[in-house]
Structure 1
Amino acid sequence: MTGPEMTEERPHVVRHARGKRPDFYETPGLDHVMSMIMVLASEVATMRDRLDSAERVAKASGLDLAAGIEALELDQAALEEREERRQDLLRRLYYLQLKDADEAAKAHTSEGFNATIAEIALQD
């Protein structure tokens, strides 16, 4: 799995690799964009393989898969399952941005905030 790794025992725990990630491109943010593209490419390739498998199984069974998909009405459980998959994709897609935001939030302490407020107050 790319990005955050969650354990079965503790699915809410997200582990991050420690240390600074290497930058391959000089343009700020380009490494993050490339990572996002690779996550999407992997996801698309996997979906295409699964769809191809489903189409082949259906054809071998004499089923009109396209018509069945068009007529399909999902129940609440299926909708929630799809939403969970979407959220997982978004977590993997925005992994680096979320990691950077988490690191930035941890770097901001209440002492630093108070020092900034005091510095601003002295400027008046």
Structure 2
Amino acid sequence: MQHIDDIDPVTLANRRAKGKRPQFLDDPAVERVLAITVAVATELGVVRQRLDTIERLLERQGSLSRQEIDTFRDADAHAERAQWQREYMARIFRILQQDKEALEDGHDNPAPEAVAAELARGASAA
């Protein structure tokens, strides 16, 4: 068995999945910032869950140990946390969702055919 002191956290953090990394945005720099933001958001979500565990155990018992925190399981807490996580992620990605909806509704960007038709009308009028 490997000892905890023999584990290199930098090596673990840099492990990569096999295959090409999916890219969702045109600019690789923006894609990287998004990946970092998601990683930070995920970490914050984990911290919030642990804090929630501590608060629940303190409320229940008045004191607690690290083992109690690590082994805490509660179906109601899980459901509440899952709901919080969905809402949290929706807040983080709100701008992307709004942009997507605007594109779908055609508010921000007209269809390419409409732009071409308008340009053609302008060229024939000149």
TM-score tier, shorter chain, comes to: 0.3 to 0.5
TM-score by length of 2: 0.39
TM-score by length of 1: 0.39
When Rg is computed on C-alpha atoms for both structures, the one with the higher figure is 2
